[in-house]
C-alpha cells in the first residue's frame, strides 16, 4: 500500500511524497483517509516558517512531538475508514469510520489507542472539526462564563466561530465578536453573537468601547468593560486591545498559539491597575482545578454533542484534493478572507 503524504519542506514550500507502508503488525490497523481539515491558524505558522524551535508542536500527540525542523508533516484532524486490521484487533474496527490526530495523508497505520470511533449520527465532514471543537470546549471551561457577563471574542477563524457558537448558549448580557474579515463577522451573527465589530475600524472600536461604557480615566469600577475576553485571533498585538476592553478584575483567556511571533504588550497601565487576570488555555491538558470532574473522555463526549448542535460542516468553503495543497496554502497565506474552512478530500 502506498500512502501519499503532505510534507512542509521549507517556508512556503510543499511536497506530496509517496511512501510504501509496511505490512500490519499485530495490534495495528490500516486507515484510508476520507477527509482532513486544515487548521489555518497553526498550519500557517508551519507554512510561513514561524514555528518556535524550543517546544514540540504538541507534547501529547505522537505524530507531532519531534517535528521542529523542516521537512515535517503537520495536521491533526483526519477522518478515515479502517480498511484492514492486524492480528489481535477486535473485528469491531473493520470498516469503522474513525477520527485521528494525523497529518494530511491518504493512508496511515495506527493502533486502536490512536483512533476515535465516530458516533453513528456524526457526518465525517462534521467529525473533521472534532479537534477544533475540543479546543472551543476547553476555552469555555477555562474562561468559566457566568450569568449576565459581557463577553468579547477576538478572532473569528474556525476556533473563534466554534467558541462563539458555544458561548451563544449561555445567558450572557452581551456576546461580541471581532474580526477584520466581513464573511467571518456575518457567520458569527448567524451563530448567535449579539454584535460584531471590525477591529481595523477606529470608529467601530470607539463604538464598542462606548457600548461597554469604558471610562476615559482608569477606574476600579465594575460598571464598565468586558468581564471575559477570549483572544483567539493569532495576532499577539490583539492582547493590547483585549486589555483596553477588559473590566476591572476581568479575565483574558489566551487561546492563540503565536509561534515565534511577538508584540509589545502594554502591561504597565490598565493591565496592572485593573487587576486583570490572564489565563493561558491549551487543549493538550485540562486545568488542574477541573481534573477532579473532567477528563479527556468527558471533554470529547461534550465536543461530539456540540458538533451535533452546531453542524460545523456548513462552515466548509473549500474541498480540494491533496495534490492541490500548494494552491490552498498560498490562498490562505495571501488572501485569507477568501477561505473560511478548507478540507482535503481523498
Mean pLDDT taken over the chain: 93
Q: Which H or E run contains 166?
A: helix 158-167
Query: Is a pLDDT exceeding 60 seen at residue 248?
Result: yes
pLDDT of residue 271: 86
213 pLDDT band, cuts 50/70/90, is confident
pLDDT of residue 65: 47
Query: Is a pLDDT exceeding 70 seen at residue 174?
Result: yes
pLDDT of residue 344: 98
Tally of residues, the chain = 346
Q: Which of 52-61, 127-136, 314-323 has the lowest mean pLDDT?
A: 52-61
User: For residue 172, which of 198, 142, 133, 140 has the smallest C-alpha distance?
Assistant: 140
pLDDT of residue 56: 60
Query: Is a pLDDT exceeding 70 seen at residue 218?
Result: no
How does 108-147 read in b/e, with b if 16+ C-beta sit within 10 Å? Answer: bbbebebbbebeeebebbbbbbbbbbbbbbbbbbbbebee
Give the pairing of strands 13-20 and 29-37.
Answer: unpaired
Query: Is a pLDDT exceeding 50 seen at residue 63?
Result: yes
The full set of domains in the chain, from first to last, is 2-128+316-345 (3.90.180.10), 132-280 (3.40.50.720)
pLDDT of residue 261: 87
CA distance linking residue 191 with residue 212, whole number of Å: 21
pLDDT of residue 57: 56
Query: Is a pLDDT exceeding 80 seen at residue 127?
Result: yes
Do residues 153 and 160 make contact, with C-beta atoms less than 8 angstroms apart?
A: yes
The average pLDDT across 18-33 equals 97
The average pLDDT across 189-213 equals 95
The average pLDDT across 129-144 equals 98
Q: What is the pLDDT of residues 254-284, one digit of tens each?
A: 999 988 888 899 988 888 889 999 999 999 9
Neighbouring-strand partners of residue 20: 2
Amino acid at each position: 500500500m502506498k500512502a501519499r503524504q503532505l510534507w512542509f519542506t521549507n517556508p512556503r514550500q510543499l511536497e506530496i511524497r509517496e511512501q510504501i507502508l509496511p505490512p500490519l503488525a499485530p495490534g495495528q490497523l490500516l486507515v484510508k483517509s476520507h477527509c482532513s481539515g486544515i487548521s489555518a491558524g497553526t498550519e500557517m505558522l508551519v507554512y510561513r516558517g514561524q514555528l518556535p524551535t524550543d517546544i514540540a508542536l504538541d507534547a501529547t500527540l505522537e505524530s507531532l512531538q519531534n517535528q521542529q525542523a523542516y521537512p515535517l508533516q503537520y495536521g491533526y484532524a483526519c477522518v478515515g475508514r479502517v480498511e484492514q486490521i492486524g492480528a489481535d484487533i477486535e473485528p469491531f474496527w473493520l470498516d469503522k469510520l474513525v477520527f485521528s490526530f494525523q497529518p494530511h495523508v491518504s493512508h496511515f497505520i495506527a493502533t486502536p489507542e490512536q483512533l476515535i470511533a465516530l458516533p453513528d449520527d456524526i457526518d465525517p465532514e462534521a467529525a473533521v472539526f472534532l479537534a477544533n471543537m475540543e479546543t472551543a470546549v476547553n476555552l469555555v471551561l477555562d474562561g468559566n462564563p457566568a450569568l449576565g457577563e459581557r463577553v468579547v471574542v477576538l478572532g473569528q477563524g474556525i476556533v473563534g466561530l466554534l467558541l462563539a457558537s458555544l458561548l451563544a448558549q449561555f445567558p450572557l448580557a452581551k456576546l461580541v465578536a471581532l474580526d477584520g474579515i466581513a464573511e467571518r463577522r456575518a457567520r458569527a451573527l448567524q451563530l448567535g453573537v449579539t454584535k460584531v465589530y471590525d477591529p481595523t475600524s477606529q470608529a467601530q472600536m470607539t463604538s464598542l468601547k462606548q457600548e461597554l461604557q469604558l471610562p476615559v480615566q482608569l477606574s476600579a469600577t465594575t460598571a464598565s468593560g468586558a468581564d471575559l475576553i477570549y483572544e483567539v485571533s493569532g495576532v499577539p498585538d490583539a492582547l493590547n486591545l483585549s486589555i483596553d476592553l477588559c473590566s476591572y478584575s476581568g479575565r483574558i483567556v489566551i487561546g492563540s498559539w503565536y509561534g515565534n511571533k511577538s508584540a509589545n504588550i502594554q502591561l504597565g497601565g490598565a493591565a496592572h491597575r485593573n487587576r486583570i487576570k490572564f489565563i493561558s488555555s491549551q487543549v493538550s491538558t485540562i486545568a488542574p482545578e477541573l481534573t477532579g470532574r473532567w477528563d479527556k473522555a468527558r471533554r470529547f463526549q461534550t465536543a461530539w454533542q456540540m458538533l451535533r448542535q452546531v453542524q460545523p460542516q456548513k462552515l466548509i468553503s473549500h474541498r480540494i484534493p491533496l495534490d492541490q495543497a500548494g494552491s490552498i496554502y498560498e490562498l490562505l497565506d495571501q488572501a485569507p478572507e477568501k477561505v473560511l474552512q478548507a478540507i482535503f478530500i481523498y
